[in-house]
Amino acid sequence: MMDLEITVDQLKSQLASEHPPLFLDVREPWEYTTAHIEGSTLIPMNEIPGRAHQELDEDAPILVLCHHGARSLSVAAWLRQQGFDKAQSVSGGIDAWSCSIDPTIPRY
What's the rounded mean pLDDT across residues 91-98?
98
Is 99 among the catalytic positions?
A: no
Residue 91: pLDDT band (50, 70, 90) is very high
Apex 96 CA angle, 82 and 98, nearest 5:
120
CA angle 63, 68, 81 (to 5 degrees): 45
Say if CB 55 and CB 81 are below 8 A apart. no
The answer, yes or no, to whether residue 62 has pLDDT greater than 80, is yes
Q: What is the pLDDT of residue 28?
A: 98
Q: Which of 66, 79, 94, 96 is catalytic?
A: 66
Q: Report residue 2's pLDDT band, with 50, 70 and 90 as the boundaries.
A: confident
Q: E strands of the chain, at which residues? A: 5-6, 22-25, 41-42, 62-65, 87-90
Check residue 60 and give its pLDDT: 96
Would you call 71 helix, strand, or coil by DSSP?
Answer: helix
pLDDT, tens digit (0-9, with 9 covering 90-100), for 18-61:
999 999 999 999 999 999 999 999 999 999 999 999 999 999 99
What is the model's pLDDT at position 52?
98
Q: Is 88 helix (H, G, I), strand (E, B) or coil?
A: strand
Extents of the domains making up the chain: 5-100
Interatomic CA distance for residues 75 and 103, integer angstroms? 26
Q: What's domain 5-100's superfamily in CATH?
A: Rhodanese-like domain (3.40.250.10)
Contact 37, 23 (CB under 8 A): yes
Residue 106 is classified by DSSP as P
